[in-house]
């Protein structure tokens, strides 16, 4: 397995381009299942999760062409509405094919994703919503099997805010008969990006970005072109990397608009963040102090502080001045990076869903293990500020969600290299 070797102590400076959002691209690729006509997407990031999703769609009969960051999908001949365990187990977001497949083919068989490192992550809300829309859903032999001649509009209420749940039900409702209302809907910007793409395909969705989404079902969707929004978590991760190293970095092709909670906390930590809108491009500038102040956070659904940025903030708090209280409210087991950060010398105490992090003036390089996608990012940030060499093993997690991370960090002056297995 590949590993990353980082020699810490370099202050990051320079400019780097932010890629398209993984969590927007994944559902939008699945939206292609809803139409017989081609869907062309640009700003699609080159990530392993995107490769997995394309493989999944291909084995259902979707034809595709990929050139640079552009992907054209043609689902005119869908002959196999099945998502097998072998692919789903590597990426939970595969569940996003469920809604579109039942809506378009009248049937879908999708392997249950099972748990993952950060928690149990059930899909009961996806199933509850489809059932309310008239689908007959059974769970047998590890597969969710859903059937419906045509889904019908319904009033849906999810027990908790679920991002992919909202996306699955919104896509399914596009081809349903009548109006569907999703209450307690996720307000994440990626939900809005998906709704914009679906509306460009002829869907009638209103309210995306609020907690009540209304969808008027239509008989068919048509082809469209759509540009995937910038990745706000990649943006936040680079902001944290710059902040931790006392750096000065400009990020292009992204926007502060999706990142208020993160930007606020980095400013509380002592950073200066400014954005600039030039014709056709938006940039974000961060200038960090020599030492950050510790910042407490509590994760919650958008627009509050994102759980996908919690690990990166733990890394910056580990070297900040003072003590931070970090509360994780979305996933029950999302502190695995803490024990690895402790191996680098961090002072962290965990009590249930709360971490108490007291900043140390310095961390020391060591060998650590990446345990999930965002945990890996926090170890990279810690490695950038640790004294000496940090070896990060199991970086396949990083490749799932960060495009060319070591190349981008090298551009900013970091001393980081990949050692092939």
Using CB under 6 A, list all residues that contact ligand UD1: 23, 26, 92-93, 119-126, 160, 162-165, 190, 307-308, 330-331
Sheet strands (E) in 235-365 = 248-252, 272-278, 281-287, 297-298, 323-327, 347-351, 354-358, 363-364
CA 337, distance to chain mean position in Å, is 18
Cβ proximity to ligand UD1, 38 vs 165, nearer residue: 165
Residue-by-residue DSSP string for 215-241:
EE--S-B--EEEEPPB-HHHHHHHHHH
CA 93, distance to chain mean position in Å, is 10
Residue at token pair 């043609």: 74
**Beta carbons of 37 and 67 less than 8 angstroms apart:** no
349 conformational bin, left if phi > 0, alpha if psi -120 to 50, beta if neither: beta
- Which residues does residue 41 pair with via DSSP β-bridges, in sequence order? 71, 226
Catalytic site residues? 116
CB of 308 to ligand UD1, least distance (A): 5
CB of 392 to ligand UD1, least distance (A): 20
CB of 365 to ligand UD1, least distance (A): 29
CB of 163 to ligand UD1, least distance (A): 4
* Token pair recorded at residue 282: 């938006």
Q: Is 391 exposed, middle or buried (0-12, 13-18, 19+ CB in 10 A)?
A: middle
Residue 292 DSSP code: P
Cβ proximity to ligand UD1, 126 vs 250, nearer residue: 126
CB of 100 to ligand UD1, least distance (A): 15
How far apart (Å, rounded) are the C-alpha atoms in residues 94 and 361? 42
Cβ proximity to ligand UD1, 93 vs 239, nearer residue: 93
Cβ proximity to ligand UD1, 106 vs 114, nearer residue: 114
Cβ proximity to ligand UD1, 234 vs 340, nearer residue: 234
Cβ proximity to ligand UD1, 44 vs 288, nearer residue: 44
CB of 137 to ligand UD1, least distance (A): 12
For 88, list phi and psi in degrees, rounded to 5: -65, -35
Cβ proximity to ligand UD1, 92 vs 109, nearer residue: 92
Cβ proximity to ligand UD1, 177 vs 300, nearer residue: 300
CB of 124 to ligand UD1, least distance (A): 5
CA-to-CA separations, 106 to 69, 79, 203, 321, 392, in angstroms, rounded: 32, 12, 18, 57, 45
**Beta carbons of 371 and 395 less than 8 angstroms apart:** no
CA-to-CA separations, 326 to 219, 238, 314, 318, in angstroms, rounded: 47, 20, 8, 12
* Token pair recorded at residue 107: 């049937």
Residues 6 or more apart whose CB falls under 8 angstroms from that of 330 comprise: 299, 300, 301, 307
3-state class of 369 per DSSP? strand
CB of 118 to ligand UD1, least distance (A): 8
- Which residues does residue 354 pair with via DSSP β-bridges, in sequence order? 327, 351
């Amino acid at each position: 397995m590949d590993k990353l070797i980082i020699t810490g102590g370099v202050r990051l400076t320079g400019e780097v381009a932010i890629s398209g959002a993984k969590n927007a691209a994944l559902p939008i690729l699945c939206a292609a299942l809803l139409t017989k006509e081609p869907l062309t997407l640009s700003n699609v990031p080159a990530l392993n999760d995107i490769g997995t999703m394309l493989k999944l769609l291909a084995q259902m009969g979707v034809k595709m062409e990929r050139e640079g960051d552009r992907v054209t999908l043609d689902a005119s001949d869908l002959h196999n509405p099945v998502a097998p365990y072998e692919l789903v187990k590597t990426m939970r977001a595969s569940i996003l094919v469920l809604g579109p497949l039942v809506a378009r083919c009248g049937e879908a068989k999708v392997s249950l994703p099972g748990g993952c490192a950060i928690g149990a992550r059930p899909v009961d809300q996806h199933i509850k919503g489809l059932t309310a829309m008239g689908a007959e859903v059974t769970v047998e032999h590890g597969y969710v099997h859903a059937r419906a001649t045509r889904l019908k509009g319904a009033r849906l209420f999810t027990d908790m805010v679920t991002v992919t749940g909202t996306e699955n039900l919104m896509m399914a409702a596009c081809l349903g008969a009548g109006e569907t209302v999703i209450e307690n809907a996720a307000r994440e910007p990626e939900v809005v990006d998906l709704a914009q793409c679906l509306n460009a395909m002829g869907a009638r969705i209103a309210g995306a970005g609020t907690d009540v989404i209304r969808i008027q079902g239509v008989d068919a969707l048509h082809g469209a072109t759509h540009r995937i929004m910038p990745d706000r978590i990649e943006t936040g991760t680079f902001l944290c990397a710059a902040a931790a190293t006392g750096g000065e970095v400009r990020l292009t092709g992204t926007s502060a608009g999706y990142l208020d909670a993160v930007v606020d906390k980095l400013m509380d930590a002592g950073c200066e963040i400014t954005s600039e809108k030039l014709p056709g491009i938006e940039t974000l500038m961060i200038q960090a102090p020599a030492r950050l102040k510790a910042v407490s956070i509590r994760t919650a659904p958008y627009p509050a502080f994102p759980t996908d940025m919690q690990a990166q903030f733990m890394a910056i708090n580990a070297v900040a001045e003072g003590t931070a209280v970090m509360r994780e409210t979305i996933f029950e087991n999302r502190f695995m990076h803490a024990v690895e950060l402790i191996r680098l010398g961090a002072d962290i105490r965990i009590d249930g869903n709360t971490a108490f992090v007291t900043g140390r003036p310095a961390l020391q390089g060591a060998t650590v293990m990446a345990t999930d996608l965002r945990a890996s990012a926090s170890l990279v940030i810690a490695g950038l500020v640790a004294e000496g060499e940090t070896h990060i093993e199991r970086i396949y997690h990083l490749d799932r969600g960060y495009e060319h991370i070591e190349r981008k960090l090298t551009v900013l002056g970091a001393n980081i290299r990949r050692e092939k297995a």
